[in-house]
Amino acid sequence: MRILVMSDIHANYTALEAVLRDAGKVDETWCLGDLVGYGPDPNAVVEEVQDIPNLICLLGNHDVGVIGKMPLETFNGDARRSLMHHEKVLTATNLEYMRSLPSTIKVRGEATLAHGSPRDPLWEYILNSLTARLNFDHFETPWCFVGHSHIQCIFILNPETDQISLDQTKPDTTIQLRPKMILNPGSVGQPRDRDPRAAYAIYDTEARSWTPRRVEYNIPEVQQRIREFKLPEKHALRIAEGW
């Protein structure tokens, strides 16, 4: 199967549309969470995601916050301002849909899916080899797909040397999967790896391969909507620079 793996859309509908167009026909779509937060289009994103066929979607920490299962005081000031706005504008139907999504890990074939990490699905960032090492014992599948950090990357555990390597993956360069790996498709709506293009990945279950992808989208259009809704200026600036 050809599977679209994406994460951290963060209410950026324009970026989501670009990813769905660029990915083309897929057999399934796996979304690793954070539909909302930061961006200007929470309703449009949730409605678009609901319409994706053969979808698996997890909750991210921002999603859990907006549906009232986590205090908004948990988030920093700018993130909290955006979530407070999203709380007000999200429709009852979209909130109900989000409440139906799981906040725990999910296993699909040879892959474990988590928003943050298999050890702490909502909050833990896997940003370095130490944190990766602590998580390799928390999934039994050959590989694990995570989001949350907004960085397109891969952690590889070498069973012979017991060493862990971290690589920032290159767009359109296919990786042959092998046990054990933790892979991040990056962020659709707010990349933080200095590449502002929307990020995602294609997972081929038969070839056992992972292909990171990037696609350009109309960033000024999204910045304009962020400013129209008087959301934090920081969120408008960072999507143009990828930080």
CA distance to 115, 217, 227, per residue, from 214 (Å): 20, 10, 25
Let me know the angle formed at the C-alpha of 74 by 70 and 75, rounded to the nearest 5 degrees.
Answer: 110
d(CA 174, CA 169): 9
Q: Locate tokens 């109309």: which residue?
A: 218
Mean pLDDT rounded to a whole number for the chain: 97
Per the structure block, which two tokens stand in for 124?
């833990």
Q: pLDDT value at position 122?
A: 96
pLDDT, tens digit, 9 for 90 and up, residues 109-120: 999 999 999 999
d(CA 218, CA 226): 13
d(CA 168, CA 184): 10
pLDDT, tens digit, 9 for 90 and up, residues 147-164: 999 999 999 999 899 999
pLDDT, tens digit, 9 for 90 and up, residues 185-222: 999 999 999 999 999 999 999 999 999 999 999 999 99
Residue 169, C-beta contacts closer than 8 angstroms, at least 6 positions apart: 152, 153, 154, 175, 183, 212
Q: How many structural domains are present in the chain?
A: 1
Per the structure block, which two tokens stand in for 150?
């907004």
**CATH number assigned to the domain comprising residue 7:** 3.60.21.10
Q: pLDDT value at position 168?
A: 86
Helix, strand, coil percentages for the chain (3-state, nearest 5): 30, 20, 45
pLDDT, tens digit, 9 for 90 and up, residues 73-121: 999 999 999 999 999 999 999 999 999 999 999 999 999 999 999 999 9
- The residue segments making up the domain with residue 115 are 2-241
- pTM for the structure as a whole: 0.97
Strands lying side by side in the sheet with 163-167:
106-108, 111-113, 143-145, 181-184, 153-158, 163-167
